[in-house]
Structure 1
Amino acid sequence: MSSVTPLGGRLSRIFSPRAYITASACISALGVLVTAFAPTLAVFLIGRGITGVGAAGVLSVVIILVLELASEKRRGLFIGLINSGMTIGVSLGAVIAGAMAPKLGWRIVFWVQVPILLLAGFGVFAALPSARKDAGHPDKPPRQSIAGQLRRIDYLGAVLLVSFVVLFLYALSAHVIHPLYIVVSLILLALFVLVESKYATEPFIPVTVLKSRGTLLSCLATLGMMAARWSVLFYTPVYAIAVRGWKPAEAGLILLPTNAGFALGGLLAGLFHIRRAGSFYISCIVTFAFFAASLSLLSQISTPSSSATAYVIATFLNGLVTGASLNYTLAHLLHLAPKSLHIIVTPLLAMFRGFAGSFGSAIGGGIFARSLKSTLERGFAENGLLNRDSLIRTLMGSPVTVQGLMGVEKEVAVHGYVVAIRALFVAGAMLALVAGVVQAGTGWKGHEDLPEEEERVRREEERAGGAEWEAA
């Protein structure tokens, strides 16, 4: 999904945003249908991939539509509403799926999504205006044919970027890190940069845009923060099952407060603060700092004896500052970038945000798995419980197994999960601090305040934006 996001932004300018969102919803519905019918794991994964391609179309276009249709005063509010809608969907989906799957089977969880996706897609098509604001603009070049615009898309760059991400994440998510895969993935990244800078007629990601300090550092900071955020979304339910002894259907409920906080944070920031165009530098730094603090707090209270109420409050606060931070980061990036490049930098930021889920699950999962495995092996050995390799493998793949253990085995298993989860959250807090430092490097001056020596890079960016404008 993440790798296709910039391509989705370009396609939306070829076919119109409302047509592309509708097509994306149909593609997602097809992917869900394939998943529901899947007879094997391979077909299941293909279905999820198709669904991700469709979801990328929505992710890349919704922010562009807000920039085009909303005033600067209300822009922050609508972005907050979009983020709220996404996180509410994640929360409800986890709870509903957790309730339906044990009784009705997992396939019905995907079946019910098909009509919802189709209804939403065609509903958006009917609700959006048929023409964009810039239609008929006197400075806009004559529109090329659709076939001509499709031929100019940088498909090679897309393939190289997707290949790099898949291989790199696979290398880092395994129980044992594979240096060879990392080296090959970095070679693919170098080839991607070469193609984008030297050979692509219209680059998948214009390298001149990434030369902008504000754009590049904003994207990297968002990637780091959201990768840490996904550790909360993935592993607080694991904590609830393995350490607190909750049932799997109940564990999904722990996501409700953190996602409610995420929705509220974005809404409050947009409603009361982001009511103008301009710098939000201090707000970005403050929210990054509070985000790191919330992860540090979670690492300390992820124990069997901690207060459940305190834990829920901590997850809510983590979501609150995340939602506000994403809104502030986007608003500040729009201040840093020339207006002609907003249609480029917003899908780019969305792409890095989307990457965070993959990076967070892969890298965070690797940290968690390695810590859990070593702690379990050491704990069983110290207590004289030999030949527990099969149990360790089961525990690493199924936290609910802990609830069926007794005596020393259960103590070792619970302790292993506590150590692994705390290690993950500590790593997340450290990553969040690094991301905050990166965000601080973006500066507070907008493109109109750039010093003379940065003017050349700005002109290159605007020329790259001109190519995007022509493709629209």
Structure 2
Amino acid sequence: MSHHGVAKSGQDDSAKAPIETTPLLPPGPTTADASQEAQLDAHTNGTANGKRNGKAVDPDDGHTTANQTISFARGALCAAALAFLIFLQATNISLITTTQSRIAADLDAFDKTSWFTSAYLIAMSALGPLNGKLSSVFSPRICIFASTIILAIGSVLSSLAQSFEAFVFGRAVTGMGASGVFTISIIIVLELTGSKRRGIAIGLLNSGYTVGVAVGATAAGGLLPLVGWRALFWAQAPIAIAGGLVLLFAIPHDFTAGAKDESGHSTLKRVGRLDYFGALTLTAAIVLVLYALSSPKEIPILPIILSALVFLTFVLNEIYLAKDPIIPITLLKSRGLLLTCLSTVGYMMARWSVLFYTPTYAIAVRQWSPATAGSILIPTNAGFAAGGLLVGWFHVRRQGSFYIPCLVVYALFPITMVLLAYLSTQHSNPVLYILIVAAGGAVTGAALNYTLAHLLHLTPKSTHYMATSLVATFRGFAGSFGSAIGGGMFTRKLATSLQSHFESEGLHHKERLIRRLLGSPALVGELTGVDKEVAIRGYEDALRMLFLAGAGLAVVMVFVQAGTGWRGAKDESVLDEERDALVRNSNTQSAREEE
């Protein structure tokens, strides 16, 4: 007790703990006092080698160092392999935007194109927490290698599909593999970086992701006339397997995910404790609600009711049955974590509407080629990468609150969405349009870096891996929701707008053309006369509605993010201790007065 009292009354213990480069006998007359204080601090923290809560601490500024280290050669191999895999995983999201017309025509799925991306994103996001837990059982190197095999299998299945159902199944399998790639990449980055470099490392990870999104649409659009859409999928398989093999041999055998398991349970028993039923019910609930909300005509009620019942089953399972819940309810009781997850979903849903539908604008309204239309994502993703990297390089170089910066970048994004809504016309300035798209990407990249850094401030260190895994999961949910819900809104508005414009022109019985236009923006360029004018107006109306809806959602998310607060987990624990002390003093005083 006396040791703790001295540690609290003095300076920050992190400033006194020795490290490997600290002289054993510092100069000056206070050597004995310094040694005594160092021993006292080491005893208080449970270590004598310059660590705080299991992490090495820089005595000059209190920054924590990396949990694990690997050689430069291994690090370079890991970085290269992860870059390729993140790139590959991200291309699967955007390549659909420039190839969906051809795929829809081959599979006769014009009114179901939103599921080409949603099936991939739902599987990717729903299995995020499960992959995080599996990596702590089998190690990250084994899990990421297995994930690349699954990704390769899904790519081959997608390329061989002869029906809409078979293609969507292949996309879902691909998403299962991509989930492990993204989740375990975050774990590896957190393990190998200290607090000084974590911001720039996360920025680089997001940059690789966004480069894949940008290049995927452009490359797919350019290669589509040359090799066809099927080759774009099966060609991913050898790249994925090669990246997985490099990581399997480059990552050391003793590399772990977070703290080592000390429960004493065997590997088989730990695998058996995983929450498979939770993952299944959560995925089923999401699929049902997205199926309903992505409907191209009217929203069916039955799938929404079933989704609510399945989600209730999921919650009850997490609370009462699951031994190792996929999303711990107790962790979500943290206001900062819960609101960060919710704000991430809403914010990124609006962002995904830009990624999915600016190429659609370029193809349908501007009649650009698929390759040129895909290149519209390059400036927005360049902005995304620049925003994240600049924030990580110049600002996120410390531990602590980033409350105000989070709110600033959150508030800037809906402004860019409103501008896009009114610029998405046939005769707007294309240079201005691209600049606004790039600005939206920049504030989004900054927002993701700031919110992650702020989340690490809000949550205890012991929960950082689960907290970051949950944020990554909810970020994946945003892609699923943005694709399915946004796609449903866009399709319904496009259908009604086309119908009303055709009728106003005295053109009836255009149902077949409308159905084809719903899933094939490239068809607009093949039309002539009034049909083409009506199609362009319909797409302009649908894009304006979608971007304005995204702006409204982003405004709401500013207030949700504001609710996270600025007080960190350490501050709250200190206040709790002070509150308990005041209560004890009050009780003692009352007892004395009664005596």
Q: Which band: TM-score by shorter chain?
A: over 0.9
1:279-298 aligned within 5 A: 279-298=401-420
Q: 1 CA distance for matches of 2:259 and 2:178?
A: 30
Q: Cα deviations across residues 2-47 of structure 1 (Å, max 9, x unaligned)?
A: 1111000000000111221111112111211222233433332222
Give deviations 1:148-178, integer Å, cap 9, x for gaps. 0011011111111000000010010002111
Gaps of 5+ in 2: 1-123, 578-595
Question: Which whole-Å CA distance do the structure 2 matches of 1:158 and 1:219 have between them?
Answer: 18
Q: 2:226 & 2:300 partners in 1: Cα distance?
A: 40
1:236 correspondence with 2:352: no
TM-score, normalised by the number of residues in structure 1: 0.93
Contact 1:61 1:347 in 2 (8 A): no
CA 1:453–1:191: 2 relative to 1, 3 Å: farther
Tell me the equivalent position of 1:44. Answer: 167
2:85 matched residue in structure 1: none
CA distance 1:269–1:145, shift in 2 (3 Å): same
Alignment partners' CA distance in 1, 2:481 and 2:313: 21
1:97 to 186, 200, 220: 220
Q: Give distance in 2, aligned partners of 1:373 and 1:454.
A: 57
Match in the other structure for 1:167 = 288
Match of 2:249 among 97, 111, 126: 126
The superposition leaves residues 278-327 of structure 1 with CA deviations (integer Å, 9 ceiling, x where unpaired) of 11111111111111111111111111111110111111111111111111
Matched, 1:420 2:526: no
Q: How does 1:5-44 map onto structure 2 within 5 Å?
A: 5-44=128-167
Q: Would the aligned equivalents of 2:383 and 2:438 in 1 still touch at CA under 8 Å?
A: yes
CA apart distance, 1:388: 1.4
1:391 aligns with 2:513: yes
After superposition, the C-alpha distances for 1:113-159 in whole angstroms (9 at most, x for unaligned) are 1121112112223333332478997xx62542111001101111111
For residue 247 of structure 2, what is the amino acid of its counterpart?
V
Task: Name 2:439's counterpart in structure 1.
Answer: 317
CA distance 1:301–1:119, shift in 2 (3 Å): same
- Highest RCO, 1 vs 2 (Cα 8 Å, sep ≥ 6): 1
- Is the radius of gyration larger for structure 1 or structure 2? 2
Contact kept in structure 1, 2:126 and 2:282, CA below 8 Å: yes
Letter in 2 for 1:153: L
The aligned counterpart of 1:150 is 271
Q: Residue 376 of structure 2 aligns to a residue in which SS?
A: helix
Q: Distance in 2 between matches of 1:296 and 1:185?
A: 32
Q: Tell me if the contact between 2:258 and 2:465 (Cα under 8 Å) persists in the aligned partners.
A: no
Of 538, 556, 559, the match for 1:437: 559
User: 1 CA distance for matches of 2:372 and 2:355?
Assistant: 15
What percent of counterpart residues are identical? Answer: 52
Larger mean CA deviation between 358-367 and 111-120 belongs to: 111-120
Q: 2:368 & 2:246 partners in 1: Cα distance?
A: 39
Give the alignment of 1:273-422 within 5 angstroms: 273-422=395-544
3-state SS, counterpart of residue 171 of structure 2: helix
- Partners of 1:129 and 1:136 lie apart in 2 by 16
Sort the Cα spacing of 1:51 and 1:336 in 2 relative to 1 into closer, same or farther, 3 A: same
What is the identity, as a one-letter code, of the residue corresponding to 1:288?
A: Y
AA partner of residue 231 (structure 2): I
Secondary structure in 2 matching 1:2: helix
Q: State the AA in 2 paired with 1:369.
A: T
Please name the residue that 1:223 is paired with.
Answer: 345
- Answering whether residue 391 of structure 2 is matched by residue 272 of structure 1, we say no
1:340-387: CA deviation from partner (whole Å, max 9, x where unpaired): 001111111110000111100111111111111111111111111122
Structure 1 gap ranges (5+): 456-472
Instruction: Letter of the 2:289 partner, please give it.
Output: F
Matches within 5 A, 1:427-466: 427-450=549-572
CA deviations on 1:235-264 (whole Å, 9 max, x unpaired) are: 101111111111223211111111111111
Segment of structure 1 superposing worse, 159-168 or 85-94: 85-94
Separation (CA, whole Å) in 2 of partners of 1:328 and 1:356: 18
Amino acid at match of 2:455: L
Decide whether the 8 Å contact of 2:183 with 2:469 is kept in 1.
Answer: yes
Encode CA deviations 1:421-462: one digit per residue, 9 max, x unaligned.
Answer: 01000000001111111111000000111278979xxxxxxx
Task: Provide the alpha-carbon RMSD of the alignment.
Answer: 1.7
| Aligned counterpart, 1:141 | 262
Does 1:195 find its partner at 2:317? yes
TM-score where L is the length of structure 2:
0.74
**Inter-partner Cα distance in structure 2 for 1:372 and 1:136:** 51
Higher mean C-alpha deviation, range 90-99 or range 76-85: 90-99
Secondary structure (helix, strand or coil) at the match of 1:174 reads coil
